[in-house]
Amino acid sequence: MDRSLSWRIRPEVAEALGQRRPVVALESTLISHGLPWPLNLETAKAAEAAVRHHGAVPATIAVLDGVPVIGLDDAELERIARNRAVLKASRRDLPYAIARKLSAATTVAATMLLAHRAGIRLFATGGIGGAHREHNPWDISADVTELARTPVAVVCSGAKSVLDIPKTLEILETHGIPVVGYGTEEFPAFFVTSSGERLTARVDTPRQAADLLRANWELGGAGVVIAQPIERHLALDPGSFLNALSVAERQAMGIGVRGKELTPFLLNRIAEITEGQTLKANHALVVANARLAAQIAVCLET
C-alpha cells in the first residue's frame, strides 16, 4: 500500500503475510447490511473461527474513521455489527469514506481492492453482486468489474439470489473471469443449491482449486469466483424462494427502493417472508465458504 495513505493491518495478519502463511479476507457489508443483529456478529465470529480452525489467519476488512483496517479486532467487529448507520462502501465510495474520516463496511469489490493491496489472495463471502433483474437493467454490481481487474479469489455460494443469474454469468464471461464450481457443474444460487446454469469448470478439492488459481495468476489473470453450493439440508426450495423474492421485489418497486439500498431491503424482506429460514441459510453458507477459503489458502502456500 502507498505509504502516504494511512491504514492499519492487525499485527497477527501482518506477521502471517510477512511469513507467507495463509490469510483469508472477510467482508463487512454482509455484517452491517446483510444480516440483522445479533446474528451478524455471530456469523462474523463463526467465519473467523472457521478460518482459524483450518489453519489460516482471518482478516475482516472495513474502514474505521477514515482508516482502512485489514483485520478488525473483536471490539471493532462488534462496532460494525451494531452500527446500522455505517456506510456501505463499494470501490467508488472508498476515497470519500477515507477523505471524510467516515466508517464504512466494505462490499465484495471494496474488500477485494483492500485485500489485494495488503497482499491477501483468498476472500470468503456469501454471494457476489451481479446484474439485477428486469426492473433494474442498469444495476450491475461493481463486484463484477473488480473481479475483472483485481487478482483475488472469491469463495462464495454463487451470486446473490436476488439477481438475474444467467445475465450475471454472461457478464462474468465477457470480463474473462473464471467461474469454478466446487463439487458441482452448476452455478449455485445462494439460498438455493443450484441455479440450473451449467459451468465450464469444476474442482473437487482445495488442492485442485489452488492449482487453478496459480495457473490463473501465472497467466496474468485477475479475480476468480469459486462457487460452493449451500448444504442441501439448509437450502431453500426454489419455488418458495422465488415467491418470497417476487413479493419483496414488488414492495421495493412500490416504495421506490433503488441503488445500494436494494440488496439490504430485499434480503431483509425475504428473511421476514421465509420466517428466518434465509437467515439460517445465510449464516451457514458464509461459515462454509470461510472454511473452504482457508483450506485453499493453505494449499496455495504449500
Interface pick for ligand PSU out of 143, 153, 188, 248 (rule CB under 6 A): 143
Give least dist CB 139 to Mn ion, A: 4
- Measured distance CA(217)–CA(192) in Å, rounded: 31
Q: Give the one residue of 24, 108, 209, 224 binding ligand PSU; rule: CB under 6 A.
A: 108
Cβ of residue 136: shortest distance to Mn ion, in angstroms? 8
Nearest in space to 300 (alpha carbons), one of 60, 16, 49, 59: 16
For the chain, what's the residue count?
A: 302
Residue 228 engages ligand PSU in binding (rule: CB under 6 A): no
**Is 260 known to be catalytic?**
no
Q: Where are the beta strands (DSSP E) in the chain?
A: 8-9, 23-26, 57-64, 67-70, 87-89, 104-106, 122-124, 153-156, 179-182, 202-203, 224-227
Which residue in 14, 16, 26, 27 binds ligand PSU (CB under 6 A)? 27
Supply the minimum distance, in Å, between the C-beta of residue 18 and ligand PSU.
28
* 27 assigned to active site: yes
Which residues, in sequence order, are CB contacts of 158 under 8 Å at separation 6+? 127, 128, 165, 187, 188, 189, 190, 195, 227, 229
Q: Does 107 bind ligand PSU (CB under 6 A)?
A: yes
Torsion of CA 128, 47, 226, 162, to 10 degrees: -30
71 binds ligand PSU (CB under 6 A): no
| Choices 58-66, 78-86, 133-141, 192-200; region in contact with Mn ion by CB under 5 A | 133-141
Residue 54 interface partner, choices Mn ion, ligand PSU, none, CB cut-off 5-8 Å depending on type: none
- Using CB under 6 A as the binding rule, whether residue 188 contacts ligand PSU is answered as no
Residue 206: contacted member of Mn ion, ligand PSU, none (CB under 5 to 8 Å, by partner type) = none
Answer yes or no whether residue 116 interacts with ligand PSU by CB under 6 A. no
Using CB positions, name the residue nearest to Mn ion: 139
Q: Could you give the 3-state DSSP secondary structure of residue 7?
A: coil
Q: Judged by CB under 6 A, which of 16, 26, 34, 59 binds ligand PSU?
A: 34
Phi, psi of 202 (to 5 degrees): -140, 140
143 binds Mn ion (CB under 5 A): no
Q: Which is nearer to Mn ion, 128 or 199 (CB)?
A: 128
Q: Pick the catalytic residue: 146, 160, 249, 260? A: 160
Read out DSSP for 114-169?
A: HHHHHT--EEE-S-B--BB-TT-TT-B-HHHHHHHHS--EEEESBB-TTB-HHHHH
Query: Are 153 and 123 spatial neighbours (Cβ–Cβ below 8 Å)?
Result: yes
Q: Which residues does the annotation mark as catalytic?
A: 27, 160
Q: Please give the residue ranges that form the binding site for Mn ion (CB under 5 A).
A: 139, 141
